[in-house]
Chains A and B, each alone.
Chain A
Amino acid sequence: MNNLGLIISLVLIAGGLIWLLVRSLSGREVERPIIFIFMGVAVSVPLLFNITFSEKATPIVKAVFDKVEYLPEGSRVLISFDYGPSMAPEVQPMSDAFIRHCLAKNHKLFLMGLWATGQSLNADAVERVIKREFPEKVGGVDYVNIGYKAGSQGVLNVIITDFRKLYATDVDGRDLDSLPIFQDIKSLKDMDLLLSVGGGFPGVKEWVQFAGDPGNVPTAGGSAAVTTPLMYPYYPRQLVGLLGGIKGAAEYESELKKHYPQFDKMPTPGVAMMGPQTLAHLMVMAFIVVGNIAFFLGKKRDS
């Protein structure tokens, strides 16, 4: 499907280019409806036929992937859901991808959240992703959801020394001490990787400042496109890597598919959202290039 998408898009673009060039060279301006048709096709074809592009992971995204990938099996990874429903379309693909990757690597997964408005989102992820796609994984053994606690960075400040000071049970009301996954866990320092998926405050930045740095635990994450530039300064010293916006999510999803054939059928909302974007951008760029070639050739002819 991916190759097909590639071929179709290339044919489209090449066809578009040639058509536009021929018209321009014969001295005629391209009529607007033709440009509109190309644009319409560029956006609707990926939508209709689910054409996607394999996103090449940028180093900052690849760094996160590699970190999760090369942790020894059974490592402890904590994912914090620091976003609300309004940001979910943009960052939820990231948390979903993180969960899939960690469980596929047989890491132990700890889920929590710092946003009051996002309380149900990690429970939803458990239902939607873990229980459906990884039925063999056992709650309390392979993964645990300890849910939301109020207090923002105050929460981090406490659990960096002791989880049990704030969390007595997981979201299902089971005593932490009764859960095998929490057997040797005292604090955040016992984690091997902290992943924060967030869209504002508190988010990735707070995880770096109040958990990753003081606890000396590798920290990475993903954030909404608006806030991503504010996180760059922490990379690479304090942040292992970062997924920025839907493009970051798409890159991670592509990388995941590349390494794990079992995810061939997994939904990739990030990649799907990038399909029309990529093609439309290529289209616009092609127009600009063709327009300029025609312009310079025309100038040559005139002179």
Chain B
Amino acid sequence: MKRQIPLALVFIFGVILIIQYFVPHEKSEWIFEFLMDWIYIIGIFALALGIWSLIRVSWDKIRLRRENWQYSVVALLGLTAMIFFGFDYFRNFFNAAGLQNFMFRHFFDYVMIPIQSTMFSLLAFFIASASYRAFRARSLLASLLLLAALIVMIRFNPYFGPLTAYLEQTASWLLNVPNLAAKRAIVIGVGLGIVATALKVILGIERAYLGKD
């Protein structure tokens, strides 16, 4: 009972979705839209579960005075403030409702966005340190990796004179031809792996995600 029903549900909905793909009729589209909507709605409940986990872990840290517990207070304060402003539907404190709330938007624009784009821009640094650390001609494979990277990057060097044109062409050839081949091989393999795994899930063979009882 605890395992059979979930496995049956997986099978039924999996097969429905597969059949749905082949049926262009209006009814089939209707089913599809329904199921997709449902997933999003369930997602909201899941998010509540996630928030609960975040609060519990943070609270435990504070309660037990674990290392760095002070920062968990910061996280909880941020969370509470944002939820407060985000749900301030009744406009008790600010004029606009929910997502349009003034403070909500400003937290988003002046805290979330700057931190987010700065995190993203850290990549420029990490890409440099990764090249220093990893691009060493240890073996044939590593040398190929290194060489291809250098050829592609060298296009940005303005001091190669007449060579530039050839480097440029080689680089664009590398990006267009072998790149295409390798990506295609990977994508075909991945596609097959996904199809096989999805099939195993629908047939109830792969069931680690259900846990055990």
Contact = CB atoms under 8 A, between A and B. Distances in A.
Given A43-B124, A288-B146, A288-B150, A278 B157 contact: yes
Nearest to A36: B125
A55 B125 CA distance: 25
Nearest to A254: B158
A247 B155 CA distance: 10
B42 interface: no
A284 B168 contact: no
B167 to A, nearest CB: 10
Contacts of B172: 229, 232
A4 B119 CA distance: 32
Interface in A240-282: 247, 274, 277-278, 280-282
A53 B153 contact: no
Contacts of A58: 164-165, 168
B24 interface: no
**Which DSSP category, helix, strand, loop or mixed, fits chain B's interface?**
helix
A39 interface: yes
A285 B125 contact: no
B124 A55 contact: no
A40 B168 CA distance: 26
A229 B176 contact: yes
Nearest to A38: B128
Contacts of A285: 150, 153-154, 157
A238 B195 CA distance: 45
Contacts of A83: none
A292 interface: yes
A288 B131 contact: yes
Interface in B108-151: 124-125, 127-129, 131-133, 135-138, 146, 149-150
A132 interface: no
Contacts of B161: 56
Contacts of A295: 136-138
B156 A56 contact: no
Given A281-B157, A295-B136, A287 B128 contact: yes
A56 B158 contact: yes
B213 to A, nearest CB: 47
B158 A35 contact: no
A66 to B, nearest CB: 15
Contacts of B138: 295
Interface of A: 30, 32, 35-36, 38-40, 43, 53-56, 58-59, 229, 232, 247, 274, 277-278, 280-285, 287-288, 290-292, 295-296
Across the A-B interface, give the 9 residue pairs with the lowest CB-CB distance, nearest first: A281-B156, A287-B132, A39-B128, A295-B136, A288-B135, A36-B125, A53-B158, A35-B129, A291-B132
Interface of B: 124-125, 127-129, 131-133, 135-138, 146, 149-150, 153-158, 161, 164-165, 168, 172, 176
5 contacts: A35-B125, A54-B158, A247-B155, A282-B156, A282-B157
